[in-house]
């Protein structure tokens, strides 16, 4: 939006980019603490649905995408076969492919960085990568958020799994409201145009309509169709470059 200075200073001396980087790092850890804390409830819920502590930790270490993990244990808790839990988790995991599609051009990851970075492609790291204006800060936002959530999420899962029911109900602390609030806070800065607001509202409406009639997790995936339908209509005003 603001054209860069004619004599653009090197990035290391770029004051706005540096200030932005500090803000991004602070936000990244904020997101990580909020998300990580919720890992306690994942660990506890996983164990109370019949998974072992090792299985709960394996899910957090190897699957590492919260919604898919919750879907997995949710289906198992609801009496579903483990394999249908896996299917639900995978369907929910498809959104990470779409996030990756968005991140590929932004982060330009190659080789080992891509192999390692891929594991960190989740809701929060994507949102934090898309926030900064400076492309170098996009990488910082992505890796700082992804790595710190990975550490805290796994620690929290272990604590939750070991503590199990002894920790008490996470709802006592309102943690079940903290999660949608966190997603809303991530969504908020994007709601700058009528187009994005409509997309979010229609997606929310469609998802809620589908909740009673589909498997847990499917309403979220179905909501992606709203993005496709809205995108089919070319913007009437020139697209705002960000």
Please list every residue from 127 through 146 that binds other proteins, using CB under 8 A.
127, 130
Nearer to other proteins, 76 or 156 (CB): 76
Residue 34 is a binding residue for other proteins (CB under 8 A): yes
Residue 205 is a binding residue for other proteins (CB under 8 A): yes
- In angstroms, give the least distance from the CB of 165 to other proteins: 18
Restricted to residues 67-96, the positions that interact with other proteins (CB under 8 A) are 67-68, 72, 74, 76, 78, 81-83, 85-86, 89-90, 93-96
Residue 19 is a binding residue for other proteins (CB under 8 A): no
Residues in contact with other proteins, shown as a per-residue x/- string from 148 to 167 under the rule CB under 8 A: --------------------
Nearer to other proteins, 159 or 173 (CB): 173
Beta-carbon contacts of residue 139 (< 8 Å; ≥ 6 apart):
107, 129
Q: Binding residue for other proteins (CB under 8 A) from 8, 19, 98, 151?
A: 98
Residue 25 is a binding residue for other proteins (CB under 8 A): no
Q: Does residue 168 contact residue 48 with C-beta atoms inside 8 Å?
A: no
Residue 168 is a binding residue for other proteins (CB under 8 A): no
Nearer to other proteins, 136 or 191 (CB): 191
Nearer to other proteins, 161 or 226 (CB): 226
Q: Binding residue for other proteins (CB under 8 A) from 42, 64, 143, 153?
A: 64
If you write DSSP's letter for every residue of the chain in order, what string do you get? Answer: -PPPPTTPPPGGG-HHHHHHHHHHHHHHHHHHHHHHHHHHHHHHHHHHTT--HHHHHHIIIII--HHHHHHHHHHHHTT--HHHHHHHHHHHHHHHHHHHHHHHHHH---HHHHHHHHHT-SHHHHHHHHS-SSHHHHHHHHHHHHHHHHHHHHHHHHHHHHHGGGG--GGGGTHHHHHHHHHHHHHGGGTTSHHHHHHHHHHHHHHHHHTTTS-TTHHHHHHHHHHHHHHHSPPSSPPPP-
Nearer to other proteins, 81 or 151 (CB): 81
- In angstroms, give the least distance from the CB of 185 to other proteins: 4
């Amino acid at each position: 939006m603001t054209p860069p200075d004619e004599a653009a200073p090197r990035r290391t001396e770029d004051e706005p980019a540096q200030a932005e980087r500090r803000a991004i790092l602070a936000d990244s850890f904020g997101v990580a603490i909020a998300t990580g804390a919720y890992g306690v409830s994942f660990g506890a819920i996983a164990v109370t649905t019949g998974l072992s502590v090792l299985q709960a930790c394996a899910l957090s270490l190897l699957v590492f995408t919260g919604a898919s993990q919750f879907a997995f244990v949710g289906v198992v808790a609801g009496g579903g076969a483990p394999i249908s839990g896996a299917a639900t988790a995978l369907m929910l995991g498809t959104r990470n492919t779409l996030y990756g599609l968005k991140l590929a051009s932004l982060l330009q990851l190659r080789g080992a960085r891509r192999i390692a970075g891929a594991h960190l492609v989740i809701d929060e790291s994507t949102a934090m990568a898309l926030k900064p204006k400076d492309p170098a800060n996009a990488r910082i936002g992505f890796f700082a958020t992804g790595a710190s959530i990975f550490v805290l999420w796994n620690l929290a899962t272990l604590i939750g799994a070991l503590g199990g029911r002894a920790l008490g109900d996470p709802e006592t602390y309102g943690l079940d409201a903290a999660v949608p609030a966190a997603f809303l806070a991530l969504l908020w800065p994007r709601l700058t145009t009528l187009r994005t607001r409509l997309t979010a509202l229609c997606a929310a409406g469609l998802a809620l309509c589908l909740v009673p009639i589909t498997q847990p997790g499917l309403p979220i995936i179905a909501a992606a169709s709203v993005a496709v339908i809205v995108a089919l209509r070319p913007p009437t005003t020139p697209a705002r470059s960000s």
